[in-house]
Amino acid sequence: MDVRERRWLYLLIGVFLVFNVITLSPLVPWQEWLFWSDPPPDKRVSIEIENYQFKLPPQGIEVKAGEYVEFTAVYRDVTYGFGVFRPDSTMVFQMQVIPGYENRILWKFDAPGSYDVRSTEYSGPQHSTMVIKDAIRVTQ
């Protein structure tokens, strides 16, 4: 390897290391969530799906902005998606849910409002009906 090539290689390795140290560092003031963070959930919400029907908690889903919510989804027949959307149809988050497992996601809502739940994985001919408007209410 040529000396100039070796210098470039070392420079690139240095840039890679510095970039990763900075972006993974807890010293970065805007870094709220660290890769190794494992906060305990403030609230747990169980969701079941079978035969193209979401079974949400009967009392509805009401959470507070800023609290950690653990969504647990158990799907009984095929692979569905669990997606949460804002009223303007932009996605907040989604997870693919494998049937027969307890699929978990931890989320913190930043803004109060009403959120829709949709299946985000094509699951068959009734997939497009899998929408629940205003399924999650996030309060201040």
Instruction: Closer to Cu ion by CB, 45 or 131: give it.
Output: 131
Q: How far is the CB of 55 from Cu ion (least distance, A)?
A: 15
* Residue found by looking up tokens 């805007």 in the block: 30
The residues of the shown chain that bind Cu ion, judged by CB under 5 A, are 80, 119, 123, 127, 130
Instruction: Closer to Cu ion by CB, 63 or 135: give it.
Output: 135
CA–CA dist 21, 71 (Å, integer): 31
Instruction: Closer to Cu ion by CB, 54 or 109: give it.
Output: 54
Instruction: Closer to Cu ion by CB, 103 or 123: give it.
Output: 123
Q: How far is the CB of 50 from Cu ion (least distance, A)?
A: 12
Q: How far is the CB of 80 from Cu ion (least distance, A)?
A: 5
Residue 67 DSSP symbol: S
Among 73, 91, 92, 94, residue whose Cα is nearest residue 83:
94
- 24 phi, psi to nearest 5 deg: -95, -5
CA–CA dist 115, 136 (Å, integer): 5
- Angle value at C-alpha 50, between 44 and 51, nearest 5 degrees: 150
Tell me the residue nearest to Cu ion as measured from the CB: 119
Q: How far is the CB of 79 from Cu ion (least distance, A)?
A: 8
